Structure 1
């Protein structure tokens, strides 16, 4: 009887990836992209979970001798955010590079972005602000603004720009603010990129080298300012490189598919560099003060993520790994995981783990890992099913084609770009 129950439960769990995979829309699904999202969110989870494990260990060992040794081996979550930004550039640009002489319908483009990301965002923001407003959770004493001011700024994606800090309720929301700023710039960026002609990849790469060098100079000369740190200008090269990768896929994808072993090697080199850059970010807290180290780390992060992306999409073994149904499901629901993971980790640490009768640091780390990460994954799945998934783009009819020289549909303004209307 017990064996039958276990067997039935196993079969039920095994159906989850198929039941809740990414809903179909009018674009071709590439499972490796969701696999890359899984890698990105796993990097962020490892970082934020590891920080809480370090702090948890400090409660036991105030000297920090043991916890400090763990911290040095945590790749900074910034490298996962870099990968997220590059994936965004790739995904949004790819349809508009696949077919020439079509237009972005601005109203439809922004409606789809808002419909996709804003409802889950605002629901999470409201849920996790309630304990602060009810004073169940006290705001950090270092804050110089009120919860109401933080909530309103977070509501409109301007917290970093207005208050020079991340959100009081869900700190990782700063990266979503950067993402939204990229959406605002994307139509103009796509128009400029298309206007550069056949040499656009080489010209863009050269411009990025100069831009990254300029970022290092600005960062070394002027004091750290969150308005720069939490703005799109500091992260623009990542999105641009995502667009370049999309162009490489569109232009050379057929040729790259013929060398799967070579791209497995590309991925291996990329993932090693990915981890090394993450560790380097940890040593400087993702903000090297001197110009050369800052620009060097920025460039290394771009190269690492580009190699990882190409290897995952065109490597033989890598393609199979990144297309695994559970990995793809985790990548599909990465937005939900990203929204809920920090408040949930904080709650588990303070309400549960801190009170467990363990007196040694190493068992604390083990218990933290076994409780924190599965709990976040399950909570992310629940939020994805109940909140995020209903707002994801469902299967639709292909978007209408606007012929070259034709008037845009629905009376909306349009920009001539490559790709289907969106």
Structure 2
């Protein structure tokens, strides 16, 4: 038993984020964990409600669950703000750092596209075989959807998310932001000392304009699944990066206040998610739409500052398991919806259950751990080798055994140094 516990305890150290030339802030991965959990709870909850409706049509006992689920959109907002933060911070911390678009695009492509393409290929198999994920009301073919998904243009071209992995729409938005980022960061750095205030003013006007456009034209997939709608979140992330560079030292000295800010941010984060659920992330009145965007950004801002600089918040978001979950969030994001759909269709729908509530509890107990484990496997064997240009290869069985023995010994004689040396990356590659 101690050896098994040793294996489990060694996992966060063995598969932590590879080092690069920049200082590692574990709380950023902790924030990613919060974002991916928000998405998982939302998508898992939707399937639980739908499963309950199949078992008990009109009963409504699980239908009430929908109203208390924070919408996964709030997690996507946090993801976008984190992207703006981590990509902009090196250029703001070193104003003389050159912006090289070719190098930037290559690193993003190398980091993200191979796992994306592998996940897309795997998840397309049941669709092409007409087993899972095929909505027969679609007006396009699986081939058309696949090609558009490969090129990150599905939402723009087909006015809808991918039929293989619906959440890919947000990754398309990420790529659109990457294409603009070199130009945006050059403009931002040239704005001078008042750039934060100036950008916030422009951002406020932009959000108000978005609300008006959305209220005027209603739902449109090219608007909903495009960068125009979500650009404020990335820009807000850049502002957070600038604030961190300018006032990070002051924030660290006021850790207690940052903890309070984190508490307030988590409450606002929950309220924003619930408000987005009530309007299905598509508020029609312009004022409400703009207000929800502003509330979402404010809540994520408070959470980010509290997690990075709070004493208790830093300890919570810096927990090894939370950081590991955040590190592998890309893998989880890629596989979670197809896997949930497969588990529901192949396994859970066949259970001889009569109680929707008991069925819902069973779904939750099966879906979330299954997705986490599948995400871990995809992260280890597919994503991690592409996280940087010189990534350490997947550890061999002997290395895993060695780590397990070392961790088991650490339980009795405190030999944590052995684990640390056995799991230390052999190089410091860029990510």
Q: Name the TM-score, length of structure 2 as normaliser.
A: 0.90
CA apart distance, 1:26:
1.8
Q: Distance in 2 between matches of 1:280 and 1:138?
A: 29
What RMSD in Å do the two structures reach over aligned CA positions?
1.2
Q: Check conservation: 2:99, 2:186, Cα contact below 8 A.
A: no
Q: Distance in 1 between matches of 2:76 and 2:210?
A: 18
1:281 equivalent in alignment to 2:281: no
Q: Check conservation: 1:23, 1:394, Cα contact below 8 A.
A: no
Q: Check conservation: 2:207, 2:290, Cα contact below 8 A.
A: yes
1:383 equivalent in alignment to 2:378: yes
Aligned with 2:333 (options 332, 335, 338): 338
Match of 2:262 in 1: 267
Q: Check conservation: 1:24, 1:393, Cα contact below 8 A.
A: no
1:29 equivalent in alignment to 2:24: yes
> CA offsets, 1:98-143, max 9 Å, x none?
0122211111110000000000000000000011112223621221
Match of 2:113 in 1: 118
Match of 2:409 in 1: none
Worse overlay, 119-128 or 102-111: 102-111
Match of 2:356 in 1: 361
> CA offsets, 1:309-331, max 9 Å, x none?
00000110000011100000000
Structure 2: gaps of 5 or more residues: 392-429
Tell me the secondary structure at the aligned position of residue 24 of structure 2: coil
Q: Distance in 1 between matches of 2:27 and 2:286?
A: 35
Tell me the secondary structure at the aligned position of residue 99 of structure 2: strand
Q: Check conservation: 2:331, 2:383, Cα contact below 8 A.
A: yes
> CA offsets, 1:201-257, max 9 Å, x none?
000111111000000000000131100111101000000000000000000001110
Match of 2:96 in 1: 101
Q: Check conservation: 1:38, 1:334, Cα contact below 8 A.
A: yes
Match of 1:320 in 2: 315
Q: Distance in 2 between matches of 1:225 and 1:370?
A: 36
CA apart distance, 1:395:
6.5
Q: Check conservation: 2:331, 2:376, Cα contact below 8 A.
A: yes
CA apart distance, 1:194:
0.9
CA apart distance, 1:185:
0.5
Match of 2:290 in 1: 295
Match of 1:247 in 2: 242
Aligned with 1:214 (options 201, 209, 221): 209
Match of 2:70 in 1: 75
Q: Distance in 2 between matches of 1:138 and 1:370?
A: 22
Q: Distance in 1 between matches of 2:382 and 2:285?
A: 43
Aligned with 1:156 (options 128, 151, 154): 151
Q: Distance in 2 between matches of 1:13 and 1:302?
A: 36
Tell me the secondary structure at the aligned position of residue 197 of structure 1: coil
Match of 1:305 in 2: 300
The 3 A distance-change label for structure 1 pair 87 and 375 is: same
Structure 1: gaps of 5 or more residues: 1-5, 397-420
CA apart distance, 1:302:
0.4
CA apart distance, 1:190:
0.5
| Runs of 4 or more above 4 Å deviation | none
Match of 1:415 in 2: none
Match of 1:49 in 2: 44
Q: Check conservation: 2:53, 2:63, Cα contact below 8 A.
A: no
Q: Name the TM-score, length of structure 1 as normaliser.
A: 0.92
Match of 1:129 in 2: 124
Match of 1:392 in 2: 387
